[in-house]
Amino acid sequence: MADNYVQGSFAFTCSHAEMALVEEAFQASYDLQDGRPPPGPTPEFLAAFPPTAPDDPWSGFLAIFDDSDFPNFGVEFEGGNTLDQPGVSIISLWSMTDFQPGALGGLIRHCCQGTLRQAAIGFEWSFSCSRPRRSEFGGGWCTVFADRIEIETTGEALSRAIEGGII
């Protein structure tokens, strides 16, 4: 038996309104994971995550997860104000076990459009194993733009490099 870990840690700045959307998304994910209906989404949240099913206001939000029955970002979340930039918040996200790059990219893309129109936000992650097993180590990167998310694993980059004769 072996344990697998997906780990990551990053921070980015955004507006206070964008951080409020991120906080609302985290609270909704906690409630939904615990089987509690979250309080009704704010109009701003519905604009960021338009429902995909007319009878479920949370359906647009749940669509960012690989498994909508398990809406978990897999990270610890901390938000606060920056000391040197009034009106700017800093969001820190980290995990040593279950970092979810796809869901986090979706969260940032939906909640931080104003910030993303100024510059992309990127992060890296790693995956490892408690035992030396083949193909159980690697990682990847994610870049979030206002109109798309790009994700690639180190395995994909390695395969491309080998096929192209770069190595």
Which positions ≥6 away from 132 have C-beta within 8 Å? none
pLDDT tens track for 65-82: 999 999 999 999 999 887
Percent pLDDT > 90 in the chain is 85
Higher-confidence position of 84 and 142: 142
Exposed, middle or buried by CB within 10 Å (0-12, 13-18, 19+), for 51? middle
Q: Residue 164: pLDDT band by 50, 70, 90 thresholds?
A: confident
Q: Where are the domains of the chain?
A: 4-163
pTM of the entire predicted model:
0.92
What CA–CA distance (Å, rounded) separates 143 from 74?
18
Q: Residue 166: pLDDT band by 50, 70, 90 thresholds?
A: low
